[in-house]
Amino acid sequence: MSLVDRAAAEPEPVLREAVAALASARGAERVRLRLAACLAHVELGEPAPAARHARLALAAAERAGLGGLAASVRLARAWLAVDRGRPRAALAELDRARGLAGVELAKARCLRGAAYFALREPAEAELTAAVAGLTAEPRWLANALIVRGADACYRGQAVRGRADFAAAEGILAELGLPERAAVCVHNQGFAALRSGDSVAALRLFDAAEQAGADPLRHPEMLLDRAEALPPEEAGPVLRRAIVLLRAAGKERKLAEAMVSLARCSLRGRDFAAAAGAALEAVELLRRQRRPGWAALARALGLHSTLLARTGGSLGAVGRIADRCARAGWSAEADELRLVAGRIALRDGREALGRRLLGQIHGKATRWRARAELAGGGEVLRVCRRGLRAGWDQELAEFGLGAALADGDAATVLRWARRCRGDELAGPDVLEYFVHENRIWVGCRGRVHRLGEVRALRLELAGWRLAGGSALGIQRLVWPAAEIGAAVTVVVPEELAGVPWGALPALAGRETTVLPPGWKPGVPRSGEPLWVAGPGLPGAEAEVRALHAVHGGRLLVRARVAETLRAVASAGTVHVAAHGRQHNGCLELADGPVRLAEVLARAGGLTVLSACGLGRVLRAGRGAVIASVVEVADAGTGAMMLALHERLRHEPPAAALAAVARLHGHRGFVCVGQAVSLPRRSRASSRTSSRLQ
């Protein structure tokens, strides 16, 4: 097998051999050695030296009149250009590659399709022709399938895209390229993400890394992971990706990373960061001559500056939104028109506002535009009609805002329940919700206006750092209302890190925390499971002591696969391990496992003796006892022994309250429960008052 053919599977030895042989090589052999060195550098993620070898190879081939070799080198240069974010340069190289036929022509069609895909131009026909012509070149066939899969995902055909990624994975595994096959597993996660299943996406991303896909060599993997995470977790991941992409010289993906950061910052309402990222993305994309992506970046930048009220011309919105829509970003174009239309109406520019809102084409966004244009009591009727036509969280939030403006507590609570998707209520249920950075809570038919989310974040950060009294947190989240001895708090994501047991008003009280959508448990009669992760002597001692008292199954220095299998049949599950709040993972002996995967398999009760994972409990079932702060390795064992003793005859929230009172650890919370709460009764629906 030639060095050129070996470069993908053995890049380092091929590079050494090629460089060593260059000194004595002449003519066609010298061109082939340069080409092999180029391809090896590509595999090693080193585009600059790859480009140098390709340039020298092309010059040598053209001097020697080696037209066939020159065309092969141009294919390599086209691939490099696509990879570095220069699709038009790639197309120019392909146009100059003369005399291609058969497999070489199919390779060129693969690269042409990749360039069209990067430009947001129709690519499917070229890629399908390439797939048909590359059956004798399995590595190139895998490349064509990967690009075609990505193109399908962006066109809303995630199932077809995932099938192409799976086919490419099989080919690359058979060729003995495990890392590239692992990247295809990651790509299948991207397809799951495009179909709306972020949990499956994150599971596949983790599986890809465990199989050998390295984000340091493929930093673009981090862009997909960030898209599956909430804004506060996605931002750091994107910033890391940007540093790695800049260092690797991957300009195309760097520009896309800046667009992703702008989107993420916009979702997190950090408008200054969003505008800055969008501005840098526009400049990168302009240099790369990618007008479709540049149109998206300009729309995101204008969207951000309009919301921040720091600039942005309302008169430019129509033109920029039209360009964005023509490039295929119709949802983003509609969002820009919606925001600009709202601002124009509020600024008294009614004709402009109505024109912008009238140009919205997307079904869900069009209902939001109609709600903006409605007046008085008609607003809520329009919102209800729109939600009957199809669920839209932002339309529900708009209805909640209109209800708050109206001021009737019963109406507000109905809309708050619509927004979170349940009807949980009761005399000792506190129904928290957030609207436009303000925390509100419904309790016993009244609605109380509380603190701001920004102030709460600062207060929580200070409390986690310094400890002490949680009175400052209580002032922001606790209503002036009489509450019973057992309390259930229904909390949105913004309140996930509140240490409810540490609030003076709840000291010693049985407190259950319920995120929206949390499901009741399915208690099992299986034996208890005690799991210890690595690197924590106290964790191993803790689970051994619990196992000695309660029996069951013991996993010390547990591995991911065996832990997940054991959780699926266990009764109570107790895990003592390092917790990673930034990605919601528990650290086990062979790597991280996502907490979501553990909870999806658990039965009635899970106890997490791990740092801070109570802050990332957003979806699950059953009861979970976890801490929202750091957990000391030493000293926690005694509390856990006492907790499990009480859990034999008390419900989780009651057992935790009693043990926390005795042992003084106020950072643990009880999330969820084994039975459903009562739904809102007819009597409670008749109770109404003005807002407090």
pLDDT tens profile 644-669: 999 999 999 999 999 988 887 788 99
Mean pLDDT across the chain: 89
Give the per-residue pLDDT at 360: 92
Number of C-beta neighbours around residue 356 at 10 A: 26
Does residue 303 belong to any structural domain of this protein? Answer: no
- pTM: predicted TM-score of the whole model, two decimal places: 0.72
The token pair at 84 is 């570095």
CA-CA-CA-CA dihedral for 307, 310, 314, 316, to nearest 10: -110
Q: How far apart are CA 525 and CA 522, in angstroms?
A: 10
What's the pLDDT band for 524 if we cut at 50, 70, 90?
A: confident
* Range of 27-31, 411-415, 618-622 with top mean pLDDT: 411-415
What's the pLDDT band for 674 if we cut at 50, 70, 90?
A: low
Does residue 424 belong to any structural domain of this protein? Answer: yes
Helices (H) and strands (E) in the chain, counts: 32, 14
Q: How far apart are CA 250 and CA 245, in angstroms?
A: 5
Does residue 598 belong to any structural domain of this protein? Answer: yes
Indicate if 554 and 440 belong to the same structural domain. Answer: no
pLDDT higher than 80, residue 688:
no
Does residue 646 belong to any structural domain of this protein? Answer: yes
Strand order across the beta sheet in which 591-594 lies: 579-580, 585-588, 591-594
The token pair at 467 is 């400890």
pLDDT higher than 90, residue 288:
no
For position 633, which CATH number holds? 3.40.50.1460
pLDDT higher than 60, residue 155:
yes
Domain boundary among 473, 490, 514: 514
Q: How far apart are CA 500 and CA 666, in angstroms?
A: 8
**Element holding 448 (H helix, E strand):** strand 446-452
pLDDT higher than 50, residue 375:
yes
Indicate if 474 and 542 belong to the same structural domain. Answer: no
Comparing 309 with 93, the larger pLDDT belongs to: 93
Angle between helices 409-420 and 378-389 (to 10 degrees): 20
Domain count, the chain: 2
Q: What three-state secondary structure class fits 425?
A: coil
Does residue 538 belong to any structural domain of this protein? Answer: yes
Q: Got the DSSP string for 2-57? A: -HHHHTTT-HHHHHHHHHHHHTT--HHHHHHHHHHHHHHHHHTT-HHHHHHHHHHH
Which residue has 């690797």 as its token pair? 248
Question: pLDDT digit string (tens) for 175-198?
Answer: 988 999 999 999 999 999 988 888
Which domain does 498 fall in, by range? 407-514
What's the pLDDT band for 680 if we cut at 50, 70, 90?
A: very low
Q: How far apart are CA 539 and CA 564, in angstroms?
A: 19
pLDDT higher than 80, residue 691:
no
DSSP 64: T
Indicate if 506 and 545 belong to the same structural domain. Answer: no
> Which distant-in-sequence residues (6+ apart) come within 8 Å of 561 by Cβ?
none
Indicate if 549 and 572 belong to the same structural domain. Answer: yes
Indicate if 491 and 579 belong to the same structural domain. Answer: no
The token pair at 510 is 């049985």
Cβ proximity of 536 and 576 under 8 Å: yes
Q: How far apart are CA 489 and CA 441, in angstroms?
A: 9
Q: How far apart are CA 16 and CA 14, in angstroms?
A: 5
**Element holding 659 (H helix, E strand):** helix 652-663
Cβ proximity of 656 and 668 under 8 Å: yes
Indicate if 612 and 502 belong to the same structural domain. Answer: no
Q: How far apart are CA 53 and CA 34, in angstroms?
A: 5
Over residues 369-373, the mean pLDDT reads: 92
Domain boundary among 457, 484, 514: 514
Over residues 384-388, the mean pLDDT reads: 91
Q: How far apart are CA 220 and CA 61, in angstroms?
A: 34
Indicate if 479 and 554 belong to the same structural domain. Answer: no
Does residue 508 belong to any structural domain of this protein? Answer: yes
Q: How far apart are CA 392 and CA 383, in angstroms?
A: 10
Q: How far apart are CA 684 and CA 428, in angstroms?
A: 12
Question: pLDDT digit string (tens) for 202-251?
Answer: 889 988 988 999 998 889 999 999 988 877 788 899 999 999 999 888 88
Give the per-residue pLDDT at 86: 85
Closest Cα to residue 421, out of 429, 433, 436?
Answer: 433
Indicate if 424 and 548 belong to the same structural domain. Answer: no
Indicate if 569 and 497 belong to the same structural domain. Answer: no
Q: What three-state secondary structure class fits 238?
A: helix
The token pair at 605 is 């009760």
Question: pLDDT digit string (tens) for 313-327?
Answer: 899 999 999 999 988
Give the per-residue pLDDT at 263: 92
The token pair at 516 is 């929206």
Q: How far apart are CA 511 and CA 488, in angstroms?
A: 6
The token pair at 233 is 């977790």
Does residue 493 belong to any structural domain of this protein? Answer: yes
The share of the chain scoring above pLDDT 70, in percent, equals 97
Long-range contacts of 491-496 (CB under 8 A, 24+ apart): 491/432, 491/515, 492/420, 492/432, 492/433, 492/434, 492/516, 493/230, 493/618, 494/434, 494/439, 494/453, 494/456, 495/432, 495/434, 495/439, 495/456, 496/614, 496/615, 496/616, 496/617, 496/618, 496/628
Give the per-residue pLDDT at 686: 44
Give me the half-sphere count of Cα atoms (radius 13 Å) on the Cβ side of residue 155: 17
Indicate if 661 and 545 belong to the same structural domain. Answer: yes
Task: Return the amino acid letter for 163.
Answer: A
Question: pLDDT digit string (tens) for 289-304?
Answer: 888 899 999 999 999 9
pLDDT higher than 60, residue 677:
no
Question: pLDDT digit string (tens) for 460-493?
Answer: 999 988 878 899 999 999 998 788 889 999 999 8
CA distances from 101 to 31, 68, 104, 133, 153 (A): 20, 10, 6, 10, 30
Closest Cα to residue 59, out of 24, 39, 35?
Answer: 35
Indicate if 483 and 537 belong to the same structural domain. Answer: no
H/E/C letters for each residue in 373-421?
HCCCCHHHHHHHHHHHHCCCHHHHHHHHHHHHHHCEHHHHHHHHHHHHC
Over residues 159-187, the mean pLDDT reads: 95
Indicate if 488 and 533 belong to the same structural domain. Answer: no
Does residue 345 belong to any structural domain of this protein? Answer: no
CA dihedral (339, 342, 346, 351) positive or negative: positive
Domain boundary among 514, 543, 562: 514
